[in-house]
Structure 1
């Protein structure tokens, strides 16, 4: 068995610590964008280990720091206008546009056009975002119906929703009270 000197163990410990620190730093950095300028951050890890003898010089690890432009979430108004642009589009079970939709496919497609990815099914959408009470609905909120949830629409204000309702019916506006309310979410 090979024995290592205290100095080797000190340097090895510093390298392992620096590698772990660099990995942690990279794990929290956002992804790079093509136009992002690169800078550098230096993590200094002391190489001395208590009880290992004389202190060694610090080990520096250089990691790129990348600035990214954070894309803001889509506004409720923009997603609502996207959904409204599909009034009259045919209903087709399992479809997520751009020419035919089922209820959750319409919401999925509209948010995707605005740069936001939401779950594909009405049941999964009913757990996404922030819960909203019926009394606090705002235009652009997703409204869910039936228990268990099996239908989704978008609130447009004044007690009305827009949705892809059922086979033989195009994307249309209906009253909120026309279906049994189950809950609402704000994305």
Structure 2
């Protein structure tokens, strides 16, 4: 019997009171409706690959692909292709993600640029201080070094 079948079987026999004890013993915490970090990682990795595949696509305000993008349109499109639904705007995407510290960031996390409390730009973290993003009118989707210290990070759930 695998761990995937063993733990739910034990949980159904153990009852609700013993769930925390079971989690402590098996090292697994089951929370209904919550994706584990391991389950979230494949979506982020796929979204990152999708964004990279759009290299050279032109910026167009309000565009969500597949050939033209604005910043949040690129992130929306990339995560949609990875099986995750995101809000339309950079601010709404920030509000939707689980906020994380810069030391916790991983490839595929979203990087939000802000002025005060307002988010004005978003990209997908590619590692080594770089993001894939669609910068502005007249530019193309590209990999670029993060140019500001005024960024927040969010993980798509």
Normalized against structure 2, the TM-score is what?
Answer: 0.69
What residue in structure 1 maps to residue 30 of structure 2? none
Q: 1:153 aligns with which of 113, 123, 127?
A: 123
3-state SS of 1:143 partner = strand
Paired residue total: 116
Runs of 4+ in 1 over 4 A off after TM superposition: none
In 2, are the aligned partners of 1:146 and 1:179 still within 8 Å (CA)?
Answer: no
Quick one: distance in 2 between partners of 1:132 and 1:153?
15
Q: Distance in 1 between matches of 2:78 and 2:103?
A: 24
Deviation of the 1:75 alpha carbon: 2.2
Offset, 1:76: 1.5
Kept in 2, the 8 Å contact 1:146–1:180? The answer is no
Q: SS in structure 1 opposite 2:87?
A: coil
Q: Point out which structure has higher relative CO (alpha carbons under 8 A, 6+ apart).
A: 2
Secondary structure of 2:95's aligned partner? coil
> Which residue does the alignment assign to 1:124?
92
Q: Decide whether the 8 Å contact of 2:110 with 2:123 is kept in 1.
A: yes
1:121-148 CA-to-partner distances (Å, cap 9, x unmatched) read: 0000011121111122110000000221
1:180 shift after superposition? 4.6
The structure with the largest alpha-carbon Rg is 1
1:52-105 CA deviation, whole Å, 9 max, x = no partner?
Answer: xxxxxxxxxxxxxxxxxxxx6552111110110001100000000000000000
TM normalised by structure 1 equals: 0.59
Q: Describe how 1:9-88 pairs up with structure 2 within 5 A.
A: 74-88=42-56
Alpha-carbon deviations, 1:5-49, whole Å to 9, x = none? xxxxxxxxxxxxxxxxxxxxxxxxxxxxxxxxxxxxxxxxxxxxx
Matching residue within 111, 117, 141 for 2:109: 141
Is 1:76–1:139's contact at 8 Å kept on the other side of the alignment?
A: yes
Is the Cα–Cα contact under 8 Å of residues 126 and 132 in structure 2 kept in the other structure?
yes
Match of 1:108 among 40, 56, 76: 76
Contact 1:80 1:139 in 2 (8 A): yes
1:92 and 2:60 are equivalent in the alignment: yes
The answer for unaligned runs of 5 or more in structure 2 is 1-38
Write the distance in 1 (CA, Å) between the matches of 2:74 and 2:106.
18
Q: Which runs of 5+ in 1 are unaligned?
A: 1-71
